[in-house]
Amino acid sequence: MKATIKDIARIASVSTATVSRVINNVPDGVGPELRNRILEIIQEVGYRPNLLAKSIITKKSFTIGLMATDVMSPFLEQVFKGINECIRADGYNLILCNSDRDSDYVSQVETLIARGIDGIILIGFFREQSVQLTDVLGDIPVVVFDYIPKHRELMQINTNNRQLAYELTNTLIDAGHRRIGVITGPLRYDTVQERLKGYKRALKDRNITWDERIITEGSFSIESGYTSFGGLIGQSNISALFCFNDLMAYGVYEYCREHNIVIPRDLSVVGFDDLPYSRLLTPPLTTASQPRYRLGFEGAKLLLEKINDTSIPPQKKILSGKVVIRDSVHILPN
């Protein structure tokens, strides 16, 4: 038979109100020793709360929606883990939606809202979708990853993309490189624009004229790294390449291997994200490490705070990443 709050109260010799305070994480009225004893009993009897009844009382579904453009991205694995561990600690569940086409994004957000979610996390939508999303979202609590909205003040979390791109570009310049090609991600992402600004600022600060002919747009995939570099290398004399994510750098490595271009002797390469396989490449990839788990956890924490108190003003949280120097950069002779 399924255990109830009354069963737990009887075993612990306390009132059902005391058990309810522990289950709902109410800080007042229960000492730490008693709280721990009740939690142990809850675990022993296998108690599971009745979420439907709880929803009726609190007027919450205890469900959070997550909308992403590519849920299979290896970058997002740790982000999702951070989100899930944060919200589960507060008794929430996650509904995950994927949209790999522009036309699906807004309609799937509408579907999530129709499910009665308490809040939503948005990852990777394009700038032109923000006007539609503003109308669709209404007053629902929202946290946005990897985007700086132009049409509404929302909770935001991101990494210091511009600064990391600046530091990576300077790493190449310090190694003697002046012709530094770039494979960007989709230019409609504000995150991509931030990285491009960091690259350009580094060149300007070092009195190097940037050349738009050695900047090409990719799509953050291995395949786009391969094809973009194939088009770039034929019309430029670059000595270094900045890929705006590690996956595109993997594509460049593949192209170089097939065309007898030796990294870093013939071409220095840097990436962005520090995915697990980047240190296992030959040579290991110099890249920018983003705190992916913390992005997820802290972003979810912002959302829960907004759900619990809608009067909290919008916040923009920027987390610090770091440049990881490995062996994919060749130091040119003076």
170 with 255, same domain?
yes
Which residue is it, tokens 């992403």?
Answer: 68
* Per-residue confidence (pLDDT) for residue 130, from 0 to 100: 66
Tell me whether strands 215-217 and 240-243 are parallel, antiparallel or unpaired.
Answer: unpaired
> Is residue 325, in this structure, part of any structural domain at all?
no
148 with 183, same domain?
no
258 with 315, same domain?
no
Structural domain for 215, as ranges: 161-290
Helix (H) or strand (E) holding 91: none
173 with 217, same domain?
yes
> Is residue 74, in this structure, part of any structural domain at all?
yes
* Per-residue confidence (pLDDT) for residue 177, from 0 to 100: 97
> Is residue 180, in this structure, part of any structural domain at all?
yes
* Per-residue confidence (pLDDT) for residue 300, from 0 to 100: 96
pLDDT in tens, 64-121: 999 888 888 899 999 999 999 999 888 888 998 887 656 677 788 888 888 889 999 9
The answer to whether 286 touches 328, Cβ cutoff 8 Å, is: yes
- Give φ, ψ of 145 to 5 degrees: -105, 140
The answer to whether 88 touches 298, Cβ cutoff 8 Å, is: no
**Helices 16-23 + 32-45 axis angle, to 10:** 90
| Opening angle at CA 265, ends 261 and 267, nearest 5 | 60
The tally of domains found in the chain comes to 3
* Per-residue confidence (pLDDT) for residue 16, from 0 to 100: 82
307 with 217, same domain?
no
76 with 150, same domain?
yes
- Going by the DSSP 8-state scheme, the letter that residue 209 receives in this structure is -
> Is residue 200, in this structure, part of any structural domain at all?
yes
* Per-residue confidence (pLDDT) for residue 116, from 0 to 100: 85
| Opening angle at CA 32, ends 53 and 13, nearest 5 | 65
User: Token digits for 321?
Assistant: 């990443």
110 with 39, same domain?
no
Residues of the chain with pLDDT under 50: 52, 56
> Is residue 328, in this structure, part of any structural domain at all?
no
222 with 284, same domain?
yes
> Is residue 332, in this structure, part of any structural domain at all?
no
Task: Give the pTM.
Answer: 0.81
What CATH number is given to the structural domain containing 73? 3.40.50.2300
What CATH number is given to the structural domain containing 44? 1.10.260.40
